[in-house]
Structure 1
Amino acid sequence: MTTFNEPEHINRLWQDAIRRDVSRGTLAIGPGGDYRLDVRKSLEALGKTLSVALGLEKGIDASTTSASVLKLGLDALFAVISLREAVFTRLTPLQLLTCMILVRSQESKDDGLNEAEGADQSPTGLTREALAKELAFYTTIDTPELFPWYLGVDRAYLEKARSALGEDGAIDNTISKLKELNRVSEDSEGRLFFVDKFVSLRLTD
């Protein structure tokens, strides 16, 4: 079985999510300057990191999946912090998990990305029913201590998402709010998609 260097792969995913924005005319030397955070790529990296930490990825060396091993370099850690500041603080836990799940559902079904048993693994969005199965899976994870600390997804975070999911009309209300925020779209067949977003950031030395 082919195995991957997961710490290196995870770092690369996070690094790819953020780039210095030279279009704004700032050519700072060092960490200061303007940056663009690709929210889609950062949510993809988030989902991948969670999945690897839980040992759910195919072809992965189990010895590389623990939170203690999945350490990030400075560039990758900056992307994580940027996601938490620019996105986590603006979305509820249930909304954030919904976006992450939709991003992963739009990747190739051959990658084995959807963890919930019986979930729709189409690479072209999710129905509400399939989304509900995925949310049920993530909000009932009983070993959040496996997640790397830098993600900010701990037991309390998942409990908030689980509590919100238990409310009447939770899925419909979450989707409606994300549509208002232009984070999610829905096609004529009722399939849900994450809407690509970039966030501009400025970091001072």
Structure 2
Amino acid sequence: MGHSPLVVRDLSVAYQKKPVLFDASFEVPEGKLIGIIGPNGAGKSTLIKAALGLIPKLKGEVLVYGKPYKQQLLKVGYVPQRESVDWDFPTNALDVVMMGRYGRLGWFKRPGAADRMAAMECLDKVGMSPYADRQISQLSGGQQQRVFLARALAQDAQLYFMDEPFVGVDAATEKAIISLLNDLKRQRKNRAGGSS
């Protein structure tokens, strides 16, 4: 029998010695869409960041398919909060999505035609292929979110973390994200997402 995509056991986190998350434990079954729901300041983003090793844990264990996250990097895709991204960084939409391919290429191999094609397919899935050459600073909030969703798709991960994917996006983008999540669910991909 295989391991669950995500197991969190007794996870606790503190910021500057102030406890934020206490003994969180849960398991994500295969092929499920899981929402983390709570008010602002409840620790939703903290839980996701701690699970991804982006912030230190006080205690607890996080397993991705039975192993520590750092051993399973290629199996995990992440869509950060829009507000945490530097949208003035001089790069276009296609280059952002290509970043999702780098983990599979290794340090010394440059992305090739197949990677570019895969990135374009991911942009197309989120309705953003006409904007491939557009600077990300020139995109609307909803378009920016779609680009980062495409970047996560380009990783071809098995487990996706999305930190408040619906905040600050228009109705069309929200509908597109939900449609894509349902497509991934049918493909038995797994997600853990936070929302207010």
Instruction: Give TM-score, length-normalised by structure 1.
Output: 0.26
Structure with the largest fraction of strand: 2
Structure with the largest fraction of helix: 1
